[in-house]
């Protein structure tokens, strides 16, 4: 197992706890985390190199094109119904997702899988880059908002950057 540096461990802790993720961002995050972990494992090569390696891997087809990782996320969410059964409780972020949110994530999942399911490597590269860029934009904005929150300024997870910069 690869030992990831403090910056990546901070990011991983932050992403589990952060609140207010839009539905699409929850899916894009899966791709960004996979890319970040591969980047770290490869000892942080240039972005272009790691994206090409990422999209050429067997795991890309098994996990992303098939939708396996997205279904796993949905399954994990559904395993924690709220006490009043109006939705699902996310213990890490202490949020509640409604049944409508789950329907939306299912629709978004299908759209993301469709985008990622191309055999053309250039298109694959562009799609992965685009979705990771959208995630990064949201995450940096969220981190900026949290940095302004005086009650969270000394938190270990509040680090203004992401480990992999697109």
Arithmetic mean of pLDDT over the chain: 89
Q: Where are the domains of the chain?
A: 6-148
**Alpha carbons 157 and 151: distance in angstroms, whole number:** 13
Helix, strand, coil shares of the chain as percentages rounded to 5? 65, 5, 30
What's the whole-number mean pLDDT along residues 10-32?
91
Closest alpha carbon to 18 in 76, 84, 113, 95: 95
Three-state SS annotation for 77-133: HHCCECCCCCEEEECCCCEEEEHHHHHHHHHHHHHHHHHHCCCCHHHHHHHHHHHHH
DSSP state of 18: -
Distance CA 60, CA 20 (A): 27
In this prediction, residue 1 has a pLDDT band, given cuts at 50, 70 and 90, of: very low
Question: Could you tell me the pTM of the whole model?
Answer: 0.88
pLDDT tens, residue by residue, 98-123:
999 999 999 999 999 999 999 999 99
Give 124's pLDDT tier (boundaries 50, 70, 90): very high
Q: Which of 35, 117, 41, 28 is nearest to 73 (CA)?
A: 28
SS (H, E, C) 23-35: HHHHHHHHHHHHH
54, 128 contact by CB (below 8 A): yes
Q: If pLDDT is split at 50, 70 and 90, which confidence band does 150 have?
A: low
CA 85 to chain CA centroid, Å, is 26
pLDDT per residue over 34-56, tens digit each?
999 999 999 999 999 999 999 99
Q: What single DSSP character describes residue 62?
A: I
pLDDT of residue 166: 83
């Amino acid at each position: 197992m690869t030992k990831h540096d403090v910056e990546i461990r901070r990011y991983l802790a932050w992403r589990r706890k952060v609140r207010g993720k839009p539905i699409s961002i929850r899916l894009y995050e899966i791709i960004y985390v996979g890319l970040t972990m591969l980047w770290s494992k490869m000892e942080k090569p240039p972005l272009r190199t790691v994206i090409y390696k990422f999209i050429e891997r067997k795991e890309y087809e098994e996990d992303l094109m098939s939708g396996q990782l997205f279904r796993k996320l949905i399954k994990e969410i559904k395993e924690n119904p709220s006490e009043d059964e109006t939705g699902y409780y996310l213990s890490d972020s202490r949020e509640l997702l409604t049944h409508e949110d789950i329907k939306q994530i299912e629709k978004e999942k299908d759209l993301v899988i469709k985008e990622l399911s191309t055999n053309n490597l250039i298109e694959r590269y562009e799609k992965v880059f685009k979705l990771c860029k959208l995630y990064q934009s949201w995450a940096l904005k969220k981190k900026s908002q949290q940095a302004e929150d005086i009650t969270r300024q000394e938190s270990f997870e509040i680090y203004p950057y992401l480990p992999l910069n697109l």
